[in-house]
C-alpha cells in the first residue's frame, strides 16, 4: 500500500517522473518507511504531508527566469502546511490535515459569459493548453506574512484568449469548488460560499497573472488549491483563488467573497500596498515564513509586492480609494 500512487495524481504519463525514480529508490523507501512507523496526532499530520510529497507526481516545466525572483525559496514543508484554505478550516494547519478529502479528478473548469466560445475544459486539456513554466513568485498574505514559492503553470491569458472575449468583457469572476461532502469548512459561515474572486480584464490578461497547476516541480497539493488555481503575485494572497471550477467574463465588477464579508477591510483591488493599512493592522512590513524566531527581521513590504511592471495598470487611480 505504501507505494500506491495518489489516485488523484495521474497527469500526462510522458511528462512525469515518479519521485521514486528521480530521487533514488533507496531514499524513497526510507522516506516511505518513516511514514509507516508514524503514530498519531501531529506525527500523523506531518507524515501525511511527507507521504503526499513523496508520492506526488512530477510536472515538467521550464523556468521563466525573467518573471522569477532569485530570493531564497520557502521550504515545501512550510508552503504546504501553513495555509489559508477556509473550505478546510480556518487554522493554518487545518488544510494540510483535512484537504485529503478533496477529489481533484475528474475536474472541469467552465469558462463562459462575455465570450464568443464558451467552453468546459477538462483538467487534462488545461494542463496541455500552453507550455508549463516554473515561476518563483513572492506571495504576500493580507495577514502580514509572505512566502517565496516556485509555481508551475502558465499565464492566465492563454486560457482567456481561447474563449475569445467580447468587447463587453471588462472583469473576470473566478468561482471555486464548494462541496460540503468534500469540504468540512463549509459548515462554518465564515464566508458566503462559494469563495469567489475577481480581477479587472487587463489585470487578468497581464502576463504575471498565473494559472497554477503545480508547485516545487510537482502537482499542487490539495491544500494549495489543486488541481488549478490563480496566483496573482502583486495582490494580497486571498485574490489567488484555489480549486477553480468556473471562470465568467462579465461587464460589471463582480462581487467577491472577502469584500462581501468585510468591505472596509478587503477591497476589490487589494494590491499589495505598504502605504494603505488594513483597518486593524499595518501593512508596512511582513514576516517571511521560515525566518521565524526571536531574532527574526521584519521585511519591508514593497508596493505591488515588488512587481513594479503592473504599475501602469493603475495609472491615474487613487489606490487609497481603490484599495
Ligand X SMILES: Nc1nc2c(c(=O)[nH]1)N[C@H]1C(S)=C(S)[C@@H](COP(=O)(O)O)O[C@H]1N2
* Binding-site entries for Mo-molybdopterin: 83, 86-87, 141, 176, 224, 229, 240-242
The sign of the torsion formed by the CA atoms of 148, 262, 194, 268 equals: negative
Q: Is 141 in the site for Mo ion (CB under 5 A)?
A: yes
Closest to ligand X by CB, 20 vs 78, is 78
Q: Is 237 in the site for Mo ion (CB under 5 A)?
A: yes
Binding characters for ligand X, 125-154, by CB under 6 A (x = yes): --------------x-x-----x-------
Q: 302: which DSSP letter?
A: P
Please classify residue 68 by burial: count the beta carbons closer than 10 Å to its beta carbon, then call 0-12 exposed, 13-18 middle and 19+ buried: middle
CA-to-CA distance for 95 and 81, rounded, in angstroms? 7
Q: Is 87 in the site for ligand X (CB under 6 A)?
A: yes
Binding characters for ligand X, 180-219, by CB under 6 A (x = yes): ---------------x------------------------
Helices (H) and strands (E) in the chain, counts: 9, 13
Region binding ligand X by CB under 6 A among candidate stretches 19-27, 85-93, 203-211, 262-270: 85-93
Q: Is 241 in the site for ligand X (CB under 6 A)?
A: yes
Closest to ligand X by CB, 121 vs 149, is 149
- One-character DSSP codes across 153-220: EEEHHHHHHHT-B-TT--EEEEEE---TTT-GGGGSTTS-SSPEEEEEHHHHHSTT-EEEEEETTEEP
CA-to-CA distance for 143 and 129, rounded, in angstroms? 34
Region binding Mo ion by CB under 5 A among candidate stretches 156-164, 201-209, 234-242, 267-275: 234-242
Spatial neighbors of 164 by CB under 8 A, at least 6 apart, are 115, 116, 117
Region binding ligand X by CB under 6 A among candidate stretches 42-50, 130-138, 235-243, 303-311: 235-243
- Closest approach of Cβ 144 to Mo ion, in Å? 9
Amino acid at each position: 500500500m505504501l507505494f500506491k500512487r495518489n489516485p488523484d495524481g495521474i497527469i500526462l504519463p510522458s511528462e512525469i517522473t515518479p519521485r521514486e525514480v528521480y530521487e533514488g529508490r533507496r531514499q524513497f523507501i526510507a522516506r516511505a518507511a518513516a511514514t509507516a512507523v508514524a503514530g498519531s496526532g501531529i506525527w500523523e499530520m506531518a507524515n501525511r504531508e511527507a507521504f503526499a510529497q513523496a508520492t506526488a507526481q512530477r510536472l515538467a516545466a521550464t523556468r521563466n527566469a525573467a518573471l522569477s525572483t532569485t530570493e531564497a525559496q520557502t521550504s515545501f514543508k512550510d508552503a504546504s502546511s501553513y495555509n489559508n484554505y477556509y473550505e478546510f478550516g480556518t487554522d493554518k494547519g487545518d488544510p494540510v490535515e483535512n484537504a485529503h478529502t478533496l477529489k481533484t479528478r475528474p475536474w472541469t473548469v467552465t469558462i463562459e459569459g462575455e465570450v464568443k466560445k464558451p467552453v468546459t475544459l477538462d483538467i487534462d486539456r488545461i494542463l496541455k493548453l500552453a507550455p508549463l513554466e516554473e515561476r518563483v513568485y513572492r506571495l504576500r498574505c493580507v495577514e502580514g506574512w509572505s512566502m517565496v514559492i516556485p509555481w508551475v503553470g502558465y499565464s492566465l491569458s492563454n486560457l482567456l484568449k481561447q474563449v475569445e472575449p467580447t468587447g463587453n468583457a471588462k472583469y473576470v469572476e473566478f468561482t471555486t469548488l464548494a462541496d460540503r461532502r468534500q469540504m468540512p469548512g463549509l459548515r462554518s459561515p465564515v464566508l458566503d460560499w462559494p469563495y469567489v474572486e475577481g480581477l479587472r480584464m487587463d489585470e487578468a490578461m497581464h502576463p504575471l497573472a498565473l494559472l497554477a497547476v503545480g508547485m516545487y516541480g510537482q502537482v499542487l497539493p490539495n491544500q494549495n488549491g489543486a488541481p488549478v488555481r490563480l496566483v496573482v503575485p502583486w495582490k494580497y494572497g486571498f485574490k489567488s483563488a484555489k480549486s477553480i471550477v468556473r471562470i465568467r467574463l462579465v461587464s460589471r465588477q463582480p462581487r467577491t467573497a472577502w469584500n462581501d464579508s468585510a468591505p472596509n477591510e478587503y477591497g476589490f483591488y487589494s494590491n499589495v500596498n505598504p502605504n494603505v493599512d488594513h483597518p486593524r493592522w499595518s501593512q508596512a512590513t511582513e514576516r517571511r515564513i521560515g525566518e521565524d524566531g526571536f531574532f527574526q527581521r521584519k521585511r519591508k513590504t514593497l508596493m505591488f509586492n515588488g512587481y513594479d511592471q503592473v504599475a501602469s495598470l493603475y495609472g491615474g487611480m487613487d489606490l487609497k480609494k481603490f484599495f
